[in-house]
Amino acid sequence: MSGSGNYFLQICTSWLLMNIYMLYGDEVDFTYSNLPIIIINTNGESIPDEPKIPAYMSIIHNEDINYITDVPNHYDGSIGIEVRGHSSQSFPKKQYLLETRDSNGNVLNCSLFGMPDENDWVLYAPYSDKSLMRNVIAYNIARSLGFYAPRTQFCEVLLNDEYIGVYVFIEKIKKDNGRVNIEDPTNSNITGGYIVEVEAWSRLDSSDIYFFNNISNKPYVIHFPKEDDLTQEQLNYIESYMFDFDITLSNNGDYKELINLPSWIDFILLNEAFKNNDLFFSSTHLYKEQDNKLYAGPIWDFNIAFGNINYNENWSTDGWLVTGNFWTPRILQDISFYETYQLRWKNLRNKQLSDYSITTMIDSLLSELDEPQQRNFSKWPILGEYIWPNYFIGEDYFDEIEYLSTWIQSRFNWIDEQFINFEMKYPIINEINYHSSNNFNSEDWIEIHNPYEYGIDISEYIFKNENDNHEYIFPENLIIETMGYLVVCRDTSNFKEHYPNIQNYLGNFEFGLSNNGELIKLYDSEGILIDYVDYDDNAPWPIGPDGNGPTLELKDYPRDNYHYSNWEAFSGNGTPGEENNMVLSVNNDRLINTYYILHENYPNPFNPITTLRYNLPEDALVNINIYDMMGRQVRTLVNSQQTVGFKSVQWNAINDKGTPVSAGIYLYSIEAGQFRQTKKMVLLK
């Protein structure tokens, strides 16, 4: 199917076919599912576009198989429900907005499918996306990068005793501690927080509060604060902020003073990787924290991405998406941004966007949907038929999955080829001392680590600060040996005084690291950006290193040092020239831990394998157990006497009975000697 032609005729034909399917789709024999079952009863009342009508919802969510005759065990109570969407409202398979309520009709915050307590939810109906999984893939990957994206859960739905197919239960984007975690603007501080959405003019609703300017000529819909709470002063502030951003870009000014760089890199990169046609056209969310810059995200609505579109040539795996909008062409003209963008792509291609990671995720989702998709397409017999705006039309479900997988692989290969001269075998910034304590003022320094099994020549590498107005050039004939470390310090005499036993250091660089956080960058001898860290002295970054003694230390290798979740504060004065969180024993040459630590599992969220790491400062009987949120023991991972050292153990989401567990939040707990600690992790499926 080409991208040209009469779109109005296509839509009308699609609408006619969809209504035929709605009338003549097969009756589905639905009695059980491996997915959670959601049962909604409106007492026969039709569900309108708005407002929400009262209804009743039951959710059956067992560890293994769910039967429609089971007693609801996950939710059983009142809701409000309305139809949602714009172009999707023409589809017979409707999607809905849900609001959980108590028996008196008041909003009820609750945790569903392990998601944080809230009352606003979306029942998304994949229809034109016949893989059923495009949004789930995009959201899962986005969350794995460390920024918030809606959590998801596949389910099958009965509405007024009628089977209506496979749905995705999704968090609605809104301001909340478990979602977009921003402050309320106040009369004394109107700098944040705000959530706005770049929307198409044709998709504006009469109830939308929005503003626009003649620079980008796009309406910005304000989602937070809500209309009843939004003051004129707050409206003026966010409108002025967006105008400043637009005019700064238009005039090639310093836009980085106005945006959170890492969030924009990841946001543009994911939309580009999956060629999301809506990027900066519609369904594009931005948010601003109080006393902070403008963030891009959360991502939303990838149903016409991944090649599932027959116009704007966005079915093609070749070509850049970002050339067709106002913001990104100007941003990517910035050499510094573009270099960082390339580096981030290379990092992610070795991790979350690796061929293995993508294939594993699709295979896992395919296994989850094996039986449910058959019922879905019996209800909605659209396989082999054109549904707007399909480019590819598979004869069966597995054709659709094959197309999706092949499209992603081809797309990623094309992007790889654009960055073909950008290799990744470089040392990494591993430890940062940006604000020493008054009692141990070793001045500023960074540690660079070679995590590879061969030496790396770093002759004439360049270390720069955020504004590129200061730099330090490494000397010639300088090699970091296999698994070696090198400290670059502002004052070598001062460093030697504080760390007399460390030999692998050099300096002096003539500029300091900001106590308030900044972007520090490492370039190779050709001037190519090879590593960077945009650290901060505020949460969610560890705040201990801000003048209190500890340094920022990378947790493990290989590890993405781009995001705050991969750094921790070392409880001491750092470990320059040595392995992180390890010091030399005074009694022998053996590396030992100085105290008990249960580290964050990685990756988190995960599917289906994660690694738990822990430190033992002495020999101890170690017990590590996994529990569900009800406190029931799921799996014993370790129950043995262990020797001192750095340890790790993997969990593959299997319980003690040898069967896979369901998606959700789990607790992992360690007992060793007198040490007790528990942490949370999230299993995605």
Give domain 426-581's CATH architecture: Sandwich (2.60)
Q: What pLDDT is stored for residue 5 in this prediction?
A: 37
| pLDDT tens-digit readout, 238-249 | 999 999 999 998
Q: 152-159 and 37-41: which strand pairing? A: parallel
In which element (H, E) is residue 249 found? helix 232-250
* Dihedral pair phi/psi, residue 24, rounded to 5°: -120, 10
Task: Provide mean pLDDT across the span 303-332.
Answer: 90
Higher-confidence residue of 39 and 559: namely 39
What value, to the nearest 5°, has the Cα angle with vertex 424 and ends 418 and 427?
Answer: 150
The residue-averaged pLDDT of 522-542 equals: 84
pLDDT above 70: residue 594: no
pLDDT band with cut points at 50, 70 and 90 for residue 4: very low
Which has the higher per-residue pLDDT, 418 or 69? 69
Tell me if 182 sits within 8 A of 288, measured CB to CB. yes
pLDDT at residue 349 in the model: 86
Higher-confidence residue of 96 and 607: namely 96
Q: For the chain, which residues make up each domain, given as ranges?
A: 7-174+351-404, 194-304+317-350, 426-581, 587-685
The three-point CA angle 162-165-171 to 5° equals 110
pLDDT of residue 185: 96
Quickly name the fold that domain 587-685 has: Immunoglobulin-like (2.60.40)
pLDDT tens digits, residue range 374-394?
999 999 999 999 999 999 999
Quote the pLDDT of residue 252.
85
Question: Which backbone phi and psi does 675 adopt, to 5 degrees?
Answer: -85, 130
The predicted structure's pLDDT at residue 674: 80
d(Cα 304, Cα 611) in Å, to the nearest integer? 34
* pLDDT computed for residue 595 by the predictor: 58
CA distances to 51, 155, 208, 444, 575 from 362, in Å = 37, 17, 37, 45, 41
Residue 9 pLDDT more than 50?
no
pLDDT over 90 (residue 332): no
Averaged pLDDT score across all residues of the chain: 88
3-state SS, residue 565: helix
The pLDDT value recorded for residue 15 is 41
Question: Which residue has better confidence, 109 or 659?
Answer: 109
Q: Which strands make up the sheet holding 529-534, listed edge to edge?
A: 471-473, 462-464, 519-523, 529-534
Mean pLDDT of 451-475: 89
Q: Return the minimum-mean-pLDDT range out of 12-21, 416-425, 472-481, 676-685.
A: 12-21
**96-110, 272-286, 356-370, 642-656: segment of lowest average pLDDT:** 642-656
Domain pair 426-581 / 587-685, same fold: yes
pLDDT for position 23: 40
- pTM equals 0.73
Nearest of 486, 306, 296 to residue 403 by alpha carbon: 306
pLDDT single digits (tens) 488-515: 999 999 999 999 999 999 999 989 999 9
Predicted confidence at residue 578, as pLDDT, reads: 86
**pLDDT at residue 19, rounded to an integer:** 44
Lowest mean pLDDT among 252-266, 409-423, 481-495: 409-423
Q: Is residue 600 scored above 60 in pLDDT?
A: yes
Residue pLDDT, tens place only, 612-661: 878 787 888 999 999 987 788 999 999 999 887 767 788 999 999 988 99
Helix pair angle (355-379, 397-418), 10° resolution: 150
Position 22 scores a pLDDT of 41
What is the 8-class DSSP label of residue 143?
A: H
Q: Judge whether residue 179 has pLDDT over 90.
A: yes
Cis preceding linkage at 51, omega within 30: yes
- pLDDT surpasses 90 at 300: yes
pLDDT at residue 26, as a whole number: 64
- Judged against a pLDDT cut of 60, whether residue 481 lies above it is answered with yes
